[in-house]
A and B are shown apart, each in its own frame.
Chain A
Amino acid sequence: EIVLTQSPGTLSLSPGERATLSCRASQSVSSSYLAWYQQKPGQAPRLLIYGASNRATGIPDRFSGSGSGTDFTLTISRLEPEDFAVYHCQQYGSSPGTFGQGTKVEIK
């Protein structure tokens, strides 16, 4: 199965700053079938990005996804207070689908 490694483990930033999160796959992700989710404490994950770069319904345009092959990035252009959370990547191009271990974005 494909192993996803997210970095950094924790990102300490201030509101208004830019966040860049990385997700690296152990082998190429078929057809850029990569998704990103946001999860706040005690809540279910929320879909942000699918197909590496497609924003899900209702997701603000400060969230963007890019990448292909084995290297993918989630960028939050200007952090809002509600963006401080854990972010997970998931590949669904190869069975079984797998998740990364998550990146926590915390307030500096």
Chain B
Amino acid sequence: QVQLAESGGGVVQPGRSLRLSCAASGFTFSGYAMHWVRQAPGKGLEWVAVISNDEINKYYADSVKGRFTISRDNSKNTLYVQMNSLRAEDTAVYYCARGPRGYDSYFDYWGQGSPVTVSS
């Protein structure tokens, strides 16, 4: 069965960096675009970034452009997001999700989420 498992979250000071990972199993990881979606405490869902299955194309929400970098290692079935220059407003639970339609997609499988708190 499809499984996505995030790791790497935690508490970090404003301006610092953090890298999240998402380990995938149960499907052909290299065949799918993968996304990061976040949810601030008590708020709705916000799409963050997407990477194509072949790692070539990457797109970002305006709120994270220039600070976050999405990447993947298809040999390890793992998705990443490097988050730099973190701000208080980046505090959220970060989910990795599979996008069966590629860039513009709904999300058919989600990880359990990795909480990130940006606070001094």
Binding site for B on A (CB under 8 A): 33, 35, 37, 43-47, 50, 56-57, 88, 90, 92-102
Q: A92-B101, A96-B61, A98-B47 are in contact. Are A44 and B113 (CB under 8 A)?
A: yes
| Least distance between B50 CB and chain A CB atoms (Å) | 9
Could you tell me if B105 and A92 are in contact, using CB atoms closer than 8 angstroms? yes
Interface of B, helix, strand, loop or mixed by DSSP? loop
A57 to B106, CA, bound (A): 14
Interface of A, helix, strand, loop or mixed by DSSP? loop
Could you tell me if A47 and B103 are in contact, using CB atoms closer than 8 angstroms? no
5 tightest A-B CB contacts, nearest first: A35-B106, A44-B110, A99-B45, A50-B106, A101-B44
A88 to B46, CA, bound (A): 11
| Least distance between A35 CB and chain B CB atoms (Å) | 4
Task: State how many residues of chain B have any CB contact under 8 Å with chain A.
Answer: 20
A47 to B20, CA, bound (A): 23
Residues 81-111 of chain B: 1 if any A CB is under 8 Å from the residue's CB, otherwise 0? 0000000000000010000010111111111
| Least distance between A60 CB and chain B CB atoms (Å) | 17
Q: A88-B44, A90-B45 are in contact. Are A97 and B112 (CB under 8 A)?
A: no
Q: A44-B95, A99-B47 are in contact. Are A90 and B106 (CB under 8 A)?
A: yes
A-B contacts besides A43-B112, A47-B108, 18 pairs, CB < 8 Å: A33-B104, A37-B45, A37-B107, A44-B112, A44-B113, A47-B109, A50-B106, A88-B44, A92-B105, A92-B106, A95-B104, A96-B47, A96-B59, A99-B44, A99-B46, A99-B47, A100-B44, A102-B44
Contacts of B103 in A (CB 8 A): 95
Could you tell me if A45 and B110 are in contact, using CB atoms closer than 8 angstroms? yes
| Least distance between A45 CB and chain B CB atoms (Å) | 6
| Least distance between A58 CB and chain B CB atoms (Å) | 11
User: Residue among A37, A95, A97 with the most chain B CB within 10 A?
Assistant: A97
A37 to B108, CA, bound (A): 10
Residue of B nearest to A56 (CB): B108
| Least distance between A37 CB and chain B CB atoms (Å) | 8
Residue of A nearest to B112 (CB): A44
